[in-house]
Amino acid sequence: MYRDERGVFQWLPVLTLVILSFAIFADFYIAGTDRLQGAPQRIFYIHVPSAWVAYFAFFLVFIFSIKYLARRNPDDDIRAHACAESGVVFCTLVLITGPIWARPVWGVWWTWDARLTTTLILWMIYVGYLMLRAYMTEPEQRARFAAVMGIVGFLNVPIVHMSVEWWRTLHPKPVVMRSGGLRDLPDSMHVALWSTLLAFMLLFVCFVRKRAQIERLNARVEEARAAREGA
């Protein structure tokens, strides 16, 4: 079950660190200062890539959950778990950076902006997923239930987003930043955005691999302990 890290992946954390350092440098020094928002806009380079990584993570949870139910391979369950946990980390980052960005720019911490609100609900769904796992002791049953939650939770994402969007548009809006879309960004900002995204993606892969590895070892420990006690 447990393999030593060999080959390309051995260097993954190092590569991640290098790219992450470059990305942080790019966020602060390469990207120009935004004319309207000034320095606070730089949080965009953390905020947006985190959101993308989080959504990608939850998509992976969905995929691994389906795979688990179809093939019952415990490793798919471990992967789904690792993705969910890492996804929640990035999702939390989105929810922390969102208000920090909103405060100086819009004057309020929280605006019930549709995208941020959807992310908040998503965060709650996947924290629920992790709690469900934490409260279950029977590994096979936990894997099945978590997979069900991983599938149903993800299917909800578009509906949640749609409902929150409508809910907001039917309300008087606070001063909402009019983003001109990614195409209007100057090149220097593109460098910052995409390098951060790459760094976060690699970081996410590192997290998931490490987490899955720990979980596999954990399973071996538990199994060995049970075998000793149960005999």
Partner 1 sequence: MLEALGVSRRYGWRWALKDLNLSVSPGETLALLGKNGSGKTTLLKTFAGLLMPTEGTVRVGGEPISREAKGGIGLLTHEPMLYAGLTIRENLGYFAKLFGMESGDISGRVELLAETLGITDRLAEPVRVLSQGLRQRASLARALLHDPEVVLLDEPFSGLDPEAAGRLESVVRALCEHHARIVVFTTHDLSKAFDMAGRIAVLGGGRLAYEGNADNSKEEELLAAFDEASEGPA
Partner 2 sequence: MRRFFYVLFAVVEKDLRLEWRTKESLLVMVVFALLVLTLFSFAFGPGGGSGENARAVQAGILWISFLFACVIGLSRTMSVERESAGFSAMYLSPSDPSALYLGKVVSVAVLMGIMEVVGFAVLAVLYQANVWKSAGALAIVAISATVGIAAAGTLFSAMSARTRTREVLLPVLMFPVLVPVLIAAVKASEAHLGGGGWADSRDWIRLMLVYDVVFLVAASLVFEYILEE
Site residues for partner 1 per CB under 8 A: 72, 137-140, 219, 222-223, 225-228, 230-231
Separation between Cα atoms, residue 104 and residue 78, nearest integer Å:
41
Give the range of 13-21, 105-113, 130-138, 198-206 binding partner 2 by CB under 8 A: 130-138
H or E element that contains 44: helix 44-71
Q: How many residues bind partner 2 (CB under 8 A)?
A: 30
Q: Is 163 in the site for partner 2 (CB under 8 A)?
A: yes
Please say whether the beta carbons of 80 and 146 come within 8 A: yes
DSSP 27: I
Separation between Cα atoms, residue 153 and residue 130, nearest integer Å:
12
Burial string for 206-229 (b: 16+ CB within 10 Å, else e) reads bbbbebbbebbeebeeeeeeeeee
Separation between Cα atoms, residue 24 and residue 45, nearest integer Å:
9
- Work out what residue 219 binds among partner 2, partner 1, none; the CB cut-off runs from 5 to 8 Å by kind: partner 1
What residues from 8 to 67 belong to the interface with partner 2 (CB under 8 A)? none
End-to-end CA distance of the chain: 23
Q: Is 132 in the site for partner 2 (CB under 8 A)?
A: yes
CB nearer partner 2, residue 132 or residue 219: 132
Binding mask 75-114 for partner 2 (x = CB under 8 A): ----------------------------------------
Q: Is 145 in the site for partner 2 (CB under 8 A)?
A: yes
CB nearer partner 2, residue 37 or residue 163: 163
Please say whether the beta carbons of 47 and 101 come within 8 A: yes
Among 23, 57, 164, 203, binds partner 2 (CB under 8 A): 164
Where along the sequence are the contacts to partner 2 (CB under 8 A)? 69, 121, 124-125, 127-128, 131-132, 135-137, 141, 144-145, 147-149, 151-153, 155-156, 159-160, 162-164, 166-167, 170
